[in-house]
Copies of this chain bind each other. A is one copy, B any other.
Amino acid sequence: MRMNGKNVFVIGTGLTKFGEFYDRDSTSLATEALNAAINDAKIDRSSIKSAYFGFMISNSSPHSAFSSKCLRECNVSIPFTRVEAGNASGAAAFHQAYISLASGIHDCVAVIGSEKLSDFVKNGTIEKILGSTIDYQWEYEIGATLTSLYAMITKAHMREFHTTMEQLASVPVKNHKNGKENPHAQFRREIPLDRFLSAKRISDPIGRFDLATHCDGSSALILVSEDYLERNNGIKNKIPILSSEHSSDVLTLHHRESLTEFKSTVTAAKKAFTKVGIEPTDIAVAEVHDSFPISEILAIEDLGFFEKGEGGKATEAGLTQLNSKISVNPSGGLKARGDPFGATGIAQIVEIVEQLRGRADKRQVSEVEYGLTHNIMGTGALAYVNIFGQEEMEQ
């Protein structure tokens, strides 16, 4: 099942702090992340032949032109491509960058994810922006929001599998505990279970503290192909991308057979595991899409880490905590690290790469052989799954 392409590696990672930065623009954030990734890769910036940008909101720093400004600030003069997949834009850009290296067209590319959402949160337009990741015509414009759709999905899961409010709340409790140890996270504090349970309901059963926050931040990666490594000896800390897959589902919830399984995640995960030739049980650490508590529960079920319907129980039992059965969202996830859409999918990869490199400090998972990232658009019309391995691993 190996693709007829080149092997691809991550050799550099860069990340800004995530949070509210009213005094900085997108260019400044993206420039910081890209420069950090270039420095981490320890390569000459003239080696980079192409750049892929993932961001969703083009209004604040318009369209592709923003990519151009970021590259100029970083003193790299190369062609660039912007990929957009709503709140999964980062993973989408990474996937295209991966393909461009696998094709042999380039041997060294940069991937930059960036978003500045605080202004849209403040002016109250963020829910409308998120509305564009669901069916605008048949869902958003007639009153449904991303949050209310996830409320429906949560209720369906509670009904079908007897998932409890306590099980749901144990997702963000864990992620805040993890986020406390992540210097890049927006929220570095624990929130006790009862705060989640007693919080005001936004869209029942989703409470005020259940949502990942839409914030500002940028992330970047330097990727190279085997051709580059052959020509440049001694590149250290390179992490192989063993598979990068995406899949889709119909956009509109009422067209789907199930509310409690995201087919796009299931399909992308199957393709990814088949390509690598491993099982979900081989994954030691995963960064999954936890925009709502139910999102992480669906993810760990649909990715095959737990049986369908068992995600809530498993989380409550602590099986997804750091250094348990599988460490899920050691970074704090979208919930505690924060969710600047385009930056999120790439920040997930940064975390997994640092885990595989053994550089995750207090968040370090022991004995990591394989790591996985999972990023989706809206209610799963698109899902991206990537699997990474250890440096010495043969592909």
- Point out residues on A near B: beta carbons under 8 Å: 3-6, 56, 58, 61-65, 68-69, 71-72, 77-86, 92, 95-96, 99-100, 102-105, 131-137, 246-248, 250-251, 255, 377-378, 381-382
On whether the beta carbons of B79 and A247 are closer than 8 Å, the reply is: yes
A3 to B101, CA, bound (A): 11
Q: Which of B71, B136, B248, B255 contacts A61 (CB 8 A)?
A: B136
Q: Which residues of B contact A71 (CB under 8 A)?
A: 248
Closest approach, in angstroms, between the C-beta of A44 and any C-beta of chain B?
19
Q: Which residues of B contact A382 (CB under 8 A)?
A: 64, 68, 79-80
Copies of this chain present: 2
On whether the beta carbons of A83 and B82 are closer than 8 Å, the reply is: yes
**A248 to B, closest residue via Cβ:** B79
Closest approach, in angstroms, between the C-beta of A102 and any C-beta of chain B?
5
What are 29 inter-chain pairs, A to B, with CB distance below 8 A? A4-B6, A4-B104, A58-B132, A63-B84, A63-B132, A64-B86, A64-B133, A65-B133, A65-B134, A65-B251, A65-B377, A65-B381, A68-B248, A69-B251, A72-B251, A79-B248, A79-B382, A81-B83, A81-B246, A82-B83, A82-B92, A83-B96, A84-B84, A96-B96, A99-B99, A99-B100, A102-B103, A103-B103, A103-B104
Q: Which of B5, B77, B92 contacts A105 (CB 8 A)?
A: B5
A381 to B65, CA, bound (A): 8
Q: Which residues of B contact A133 (CB under 8 A)?
A: 62-65
